[in-house]
Chains A and B, each alone.
Chain A
């Protein structure tokens, strides 16, 4: 690592920490932690992890096996906190629509699971790549879950409030970037490691700024409950609509066949 890159890394680390502290204070002052407890916990865990990493590397250096092991261990804790925060965002966005939420969380888990399995299968089978591969798989699953959430909201025309959208976008962009960054790291391993850190911190800074902007106003603790229809309405009308849509498609199919024979 060159002295310039090291300096840049330390500066970025300080900026990330400062913005993180600002966001945490903003969550505390506006009492938004009540609406987003898991997200607030994630920010705390991130700050603690960042500070620990700084002292760890200062004491043992970047290339020491002990600091590497502890750093990846902390990364696992951060990842767990992020998964909780993402779950919270998903629940915020859709949980008040009970029926759709029951369907959505299964779809989100399935998408995340498929991506995780696929990433594990596609990854290189080497010990030195194990942790970045696992990290990449988890990041991609988080992105897939969030994209599925937003796609669900769009499909069902459910209005997701701007804060939830911004939080989801921040998590998704950061996860996508880290996944891509880890893939490049895997390919150019040692030549790329310093730049990898810088880019990761930059991506995190971008997400932090997006979240800070989204949380600049106090957040309501819980969204108002939707008034739901009686259970029988869906059971009565849903199959009728599907039946008619199927008939309509068959009719269109016939149209196509008629054409094919005519031509």
Chain B
């Protein structure tokens, strides 16, 4: 176990380093680089730009700059926002919770619904339900999330008036019920893609398990179908899904960004977009790195959890 953990940790550290190189490259290969925001100032001369570049250390060789940025980042100094001089990590910390809420609630919805659809599709393979679920999943994967959000707002907020059209809560009403009421629409919109993906993988995992010897044994000893399904098949089919859940993190984060835009949700996605329009380089970099690290840690966590949950997995 320790060896497995160490190896997996080592791989993740290498990836983390690569991620930082790519992040740094994106920042510095963009035309203008971090200087670009100053060029917009009226009356800025080339000499002044050069001075700023020198003060910010941008005139030094790239590897030197990279090393300084990387070593600072490792100890938690991610720079300060150009907009309000807040430390980047604090800014991210203030915006991460709404996003996490959205991600967690939509993941719960997706796991419940997706598991149900996948299981039913697998035990009634090639049935009408299975066929419709297959087609439905493919269509769901093809719908642009933001457009689906607009349609949901149009139907449920504008036409029916059942759900609020956005925001975390109604101003002046911070009750839990109000909070949850605002969470319904965005988390359902975000869940659509995940439900589709989860149900397809769940169906495949069920089909792998359904013909295993131990399922036949359970049937032979006269266990009711329902018990076999719950105690044996679904339980075992869910194991590999831990990895899938980890792999879905980037998709989920991308979807969250788009969903937040449509529902004016004050999370990481909103922060990222605002920072882009302000050319707030340190925050853009910070969010980019933060999401990549989140994905990396999520995958590592999923791998370890899978190994712990499934004793058949050999750890070294």
Are both chains from one complex? no
Residue numbers of B with Cβ under 8 A of A are none
Q: Which residues of A contact B (CB under 8 A)?
A: none
